[in-house]
Amino acid sequence: MHEEPVPEPPATPPATEIHRTVVVGGFFIAGVLLLAICRYYARQRTSLRRPYRIPDFEAGVKKALAADAEAEFRRVVKFLQDEVLIPIDVRLPGRPFEYDMHAFPFTPMVLVIGNHSSGKSTFINKLLGKEVQDTGVAPTDDGFTILERRTVTETEDGPTVLGCPENRPYAELQRFGQTLAGVLRRKRLLLPQSSQFPFGLQIVDSPGMIDLPVNEKTMSESKGRGYNFVEVVRWWAKRADLVLLLFDPDKPGTTGETLDVLTKSLAGLNHKFLVILNKVDKLDNSVDFARAYGALGWALSKVIKRKDIPAIYTMFNEGMESPGREGLPLERFVKKREEVILEVLRVRERHNDNIITSLEETMRQMQMLVGVIHRLRHKASDRYWRLKVWAIFSALMPVVGIYKIMHVAAASMRMAAEMAAADLAASRAEELPSRRHWGFLRRAEPAPTAPPEPVGTAEEFHPFGTWVYVTVLIVYLLFLAGVLKMLWDSFTQYQKELYVTLEATFDEVFYDKFIHDEGEDLRSRWNVVRPKVKSILQARSFYPLLPFVAAWEMQRISEALQTDVWYLRQLARQLRQPPPSPSPSTPTRGNGNSQQGPFL
């Protein structure tokens, strides 16, 4: 009977191989876990860790927001500034967005600017219902005056205002110097009951702008007033909730300081300033009105590069008792004045919306600035490394060439020396028989010694003297210095081209935005960002070392614009809702909103 062979069991792998497999597998698993942990902590670091919760609104479902909407509003604004904007701003030279941040608390504010004798102080006095500010045809005020309604009357000087705990942003004005602090004051006023000016609102009267051409070589804003007037107005305008720009019909032009204020101080703030042609009741007839209105519109069209200029409010400060002028519709001017007053009284309602708009615009400006800076840094670094390769090539190739030339020259000189030594030995060998033949006529010579060693050995043969090596080294160093100087001049010229062609760089960064439209909003924002980019480039002369902002930081800004700004809008809407109406027995403060006011 045939027996089938029993299969042998598989060979057991050695214990060392099993141990090695376990170790490799353990290291692999540990590496995967470590990578996962690193990615988790990286996402935690780069993501927005909000100290508040944004409600998830579904369609048609209303959810309650924070119980204390005002505290929540400030918490969100402070978080976005401290965690999103300031970490980037501190790395930028000069901190271009340092004074765009909001500090709380801060009272809503109206800024009134204009030429001297344009009726600024008169308008403020009529609005307050009390003669507070000096008026006149000649300039009557050389500083900024903050006016607000209080239960007692008192006046504070500039240093006191700068340290005010109720309005923390005033401390930023210290950077403009002591001269501004000397012409800054605040008047807290006890107004009559008939005044329509509310509590909790500030109105700022500014010095009249001078419409004279400023010679930049002899006088600037800082030399003329002791502080940079244009920058100071820019600071006030950014923090104001409404800016009233008044013009006198006798001087409706835009030159001198008025031109600088329109092009620099109010750049990017079109959403919150009103252009007012004041004192129209002083015109004689409709022809004069048309001439003044047309001159102002023409002057604004030269400054504001848009097809449609801002609406011009035409009004006058006196009441309807002013004598009527030929063909002038004073009733319509009174309606326009009421519209301006209504905008002033609405400032407290739009205060939070202005903060959100300013914060959103700051984020978008930072996005634009970082994008342009990143592009400039990339282009400069690329050119710099290319020139660096050329510099290394220019430094090595002469060394190789000089080595080859000197090696060939040394070999030739060694061969010539060997041939000369051979010829010399041969000539001496030929001279020996002749010397022996005529030896009886000469003195006895010593016995010839052994022939000398060949002159061409590597140990003793030196084809070049020290001066040759020194000369070659000096020429090489001069050549290298010339090449490096040429390459550096080329790089410097390239940086100048980048500075001059900022518009082209801007178009490269946002080229996809201009495919289907002209991108007027982006170009308007670029007019504000461009001076900041130029200041950064002037402060950092070596563009490859421009500050670097990581992609995740820009992603956080985009996330905040999409989510947190929307949440702030909802909080502002909740804060705008009117409080419950008081009972009839509850006394109200006499702010005079229901009364006609002193204008009428």
- The residues, any chain, with a CB within 8 Å of residue 460's CB and separated by 6 or more, are 453
The interaxial angle of helices 551-559 and 347-437, nearest 10 deg, is 170
The interaxial angle of helices 347-437 and 502-509, nearest 10 deg, is 110
The interaxial angle of helices 502-509 and 520-539, nearest 10 deg, is 130
Q: Does 305 map to a domain?
A: yes
Q: Does 340 map to a domain?
A: yes
User: What is the residue range of 269's domain?
Assistant: 105-345
What pLDDT, on the 0 to 100 scale, is given for residue 64? 64
Q: Does 533 map to a domain?
A: no
Report the C-alpha gap between 157 and 144 in whole angstroms: 11
Summarised one tens digit per residue, pLDDT across range 17-34 is 667 777 777 777 888 788
What pLDDT, on the 0 to 100 scale, is given for residue 41? 65
Report the C-alpha gap between 373 and 119 in whole angstroms: 44
Summarised one tens digit per residue, pLDDT across range 108-126 is 999 999 887 788 888 998 8
Q: Name the burial class of residue 178, with classes exposed (0-12), middle (13-18) and buried (19+) by CB atoms within 10 angstroms of its CB.
A: exposed
pTM: 0.77
Report the C-alpha gap between 181 and 176 in whole angstroms: 8
What pLDDT, on the 0 to 100 scale, is given for residue 375? 95
Confidence of residue 81 (pLDDT cuts 50, 70, 90): very high
Distance of alpha carbon 134 from its chain centroid, rounded? Answer: 40
Q: Does 40 map to a domain?
A: no
Name the nearest CA neighbour of 198 among 108, 98, 79, 310: 108
Q: Does 334 map to a domain?
A: yes
Q: Is 454 in a helix, a strand, or coil?
A: coil
568 forms beta bridges with none
Instruction: Inform me whether the pLDDT recorded for 10 exceeds 70.
Output: no
Q: Which of the 8 DSSP states describes residue 512?
A: G
Instruction: Inform me whether the pLDDT recorded for 526 exceeds 80.
Output: yes
Q: Does 173 map to a domain?
A: yes
Higher pLDDT, 521 or 543: 543
For residues 265-292, average pLDDT: 85
Instruction: Inform me whether the pLDDT recorded for 310 exceeds 70.
Output: yes
Say how many domains are in the chain.
Answer: 1
Which residue spans within 364-522 are E strands per DSSP?
none
- The residues, any chain, with a CB within 8 Å of residue 402's CB and separated by 6 or more, are 472, 476
Helix%, strand%, coil% for the chain, nearest 5: 55, 10, 35
Q: Does 29 map to a domain?
A: no
Higher pLDDT, 156 or 468: 156
Beta carbons of 324 and 330 less than 8 angstroms apart: yes
Instruction: Inform me whether the pLDDT recorded for 496 exceeds 70.
Output: yes
Which tokens hold the place of 487?
Answer: 């390459």
Name the strand (E) or helix (H) holding 458: none
Q: Does 420 map to a domain?
A: no
Characterize the bridge pairing of strands 242-247 and 202-205: unpaired
* Residue matched to tokens 């670097």: 548
For residues 456-482, average pLDDT: 76
Q: Name the burial class of residue 362, with classes exposed (0-12), middle (13-18) and buried (19+) by CB atoms within 10 angstroms of its CB.
A: buried
Summarised one tens digit per residue, pLDDT across range 186-203 is 999 999 988 889 999 999
Pairs from 83-90 (Cβ < 8 Å, separation ≥ 24): 83/48, 83/556, 84/48, 84/363, 84/553, 84/556, 84/557, 84/560, 85/362, 85/363, 85/366, 85/557, 87/553, 88/366, 88/370, 88/549, 88/553, 89/366
DSSP per residue, 35-75: HHHHHHHHHHHHS---SS----PPTT------SSHHHHHHH
What is the dihedral angle through the alpha carbons of 316, 322, 328, 334, rounded to the nearest 10 degrees? 50
Name the nearest CA neighbour of 20 among 9, 28, 11, 32: 28
CA end-to-end distance (rounded Å), the chain:
133
Q: Name the burial class of residue 415, with classes exposed (0-12), middle (13-18) and buried (19+) by CB atoms within 10 angstroms of its CB.
A: exposed
Instruction: Inform me whether the pLDDT recorded for 454 exceeds 80.
Output: no
Report the C-alpha gap between 528 and 284 in whole angstroms: 41
What pLDDT, on the 0 to 100 scale, is given for residue 441? 45
What does the longest C-alpha to C-alpha distance in the chain come to?
159
Beta carbons of 207 and 142 less than 8 angstroms apart: yes
What pLDDT, on the 0 to 100 scale, is given for residue 385? 93
- The residues, any chain, with a CB within 8 Å of residue 386's CB and separated by 6 or more, are none
Report the C-alpha gap between 543 and 170 in whole angstroms: 35
Name the nearest CA neighbour of 321 among 600, 103, 565, 561: 600
Higher pLDDT, 1 or 208: 208
Sheet with 202-205, side-by-side order of all strands: 154-157, 184-189, 144-149, 202-205, 109-114, 242-247, 273-277, 312-314
What pLDDT, on the 0 to 100 scale, is given for residue 555? 92
- The residues, any chain, with a CB within 8 Å of residue 454's CB and separated by 6 or more, are 418, 421
Distance of alpha carbon 406 from its chain centroid, rounded? Answer: 57
Average model confidence (pLDDT) for the chain?
A: 81
Instruction: Inform me whether the pLDDT recorded for 564 exceeds 80.
Output: yes
Higher pLDDT, 402 or 374: 374
Name the nearest CA neighbour of 548 among 417, 399, 381, 396: 381
Name the strand (E) or helix (H) holding 85: none
Which tokens hold the place of 46?
Answer: 């780069």
Q: Assign residue 259 the CATH number of its domain.
A: 3.40.50.300
Higher pLDDT, 600 or 401: 401
